Chain A
Amino acid sequence: MINFLRRKKQYLWLFGFLAVTLASFVFGFNPGKEVFGNFTQFFIEMVTFIPFLFIIVGLFDVWFPKEQVEKHIGQESGIKGILIVIVLAMLQAGPLYGAFPVAYILYKKGASIKNIFIYLGAFSSLKIPMLGMEIGYLGIQFTLARTLVSLPLFIAVGYFMEWYLKDRDFKINKI
């Protein structure tokens, strides 16, 4: 029921906007026209790539299921362990707090402290759907620069966290 209302509310916004726009054109209200002009631009920008992005994301999802990668997580160390958590993170979607339960799973499966925090870092900035949006909106150059700078830095954060927490009985609680 709440979900239903929330959905309705979302449409309310849209219809309200369309109604105001229509009125603006009928009565010659310039600010309304201008806002609609902005909106049309953004709308065209969106429909030219986002549906295609989701085709790519959907295909990725069936060909590279994250459950498959999750199976391989364990006590791997070194570069291989880091690579696996980064790939796992890239296959996810959603906000950062959605990553905490997965961090718990990694912890339970014996992943190192370093890899858990590298996972969180990669989750927040390398998820494939988000990278797609970033390329579409901010360009490939920006996306490349940001990821290439971020990657070593959150690996460093992982190492730091491990160094700092190693002797301080680190644990992740199940919620």
Chain B
Amino acid sequence: MINNAFIFIIVSIVLTLLSLLLDRKKTVMGLKKGWKMFQNIAIPFLNILILVSLALYVVPPSLIVKYLGPGSGWGGQMIAAIVGSITLIPGFISYPIASVLIKEGASYAIVATFMTTLMMVGVVTLPLEIAYFGRKVAILRNVLNFITAIVIGTFVGFIL
């Protein structure tokens, strides 16, 4: 985690300096934009961290290992895929959750499946998708992506 933070700090400093060299005004604009985006997510993000902290206290790691650990097999992956499909969790919120799941013993395959269905399959937003694409195409896209997510999860688990 420390290493990761270092990468971000170094990359952001290098990019800012480079950008300053090229165009001062654009750089200021970019920094302002970034700050605004950060402000927009800061409070909801803190709230989610509170929820995750609570959940981590209430849910024992053994439960996570049992249902979402490497030994849970297809059952665990199906749970992850279904939960990921029906919930509507914004991406930026799902990452701390995923990171906690991994730290508590969930397998990479299952977390990758969960993240992918979360992003690519949307049961709650299906009516909206149907309005745009029509019933058949919307359902087909979601079903295909559901299957794809399981394949992605399986491969990721295989690689890592």
Interface residues in chain A, defined as those with a beta carbon under 8 Å from any beta carbon in chain B: 7, 10-11, 13-14, 17, 31, 34-36, 38-39, 42-43, 45-46, 48-63, 93, 95-97, 100, 103-104, 117, 120-121, 124-125, 127, 129-130, 132-142, 145-146, 149-150, 153-154, 157, 160-161, 164-165, 170-173, 175
Residues of A within 8 A of B83 (CB): none
Is B72 an interface residue, CB under 8 A from the partner?
no
User: Do the beta carbons of A56 and B4 come within 8 Å of each other?
Assistant: no
Asked whether, in the complex, the Cβ of B32 is within 8 Å of the Cβ of A154, the reply is no
Q: Out of A45, A52, A145, A157, which one reaches B156, CB within 8 Å?
A: A145
Which residue on chain A has the smallest CB distance to residue B15?
A59
Contact surface of B with A, Cβ cutoff 8 Å: 1-2, 4-5, 7-9, 11-12, 15-16, 19, 26-27, 29-38, 43-47, 49-50, 52-54, 56-57, 88, 90-92, 95-96, 98-99, 102, 108, 111-112, 115-116, 119-120, 122, 125, 128-129, 131-134, 137, 140-141, 144-145, 148, 151-152, 155-156, 159-160
Find out whether the CB atom of B12 lies under 8 angstroms from the CB atom of A63.
no
Q: Say whether B95 contacts A136, CB under 8 Å.
A: yes
A48 near B96: Cβ-Cβ < 8 Å: no
Query: Mostly helix, strand, loop or mixed at chain B's interface?
Result: helix
Would A172 and B151 be within 8 Å (CB), given that A54-B37, A55-B12, A58-B37 are in contact? no
With A52-B9, A62-B33 known to touch, is A139 a contact of B4 (CB < 8 Å)?
Answer: yes
Minimum CB distance partner of A134 in chain B: B95
Contact of A48 among B5, B19, B49 (CB under 8 A): B5
Shortest CB–CB separation between residue A111 and chain B, in angstroms?
Answer: 14
- Of the residues B34, B56, B137, contact of A54 by C-beta under 8 Å: B34
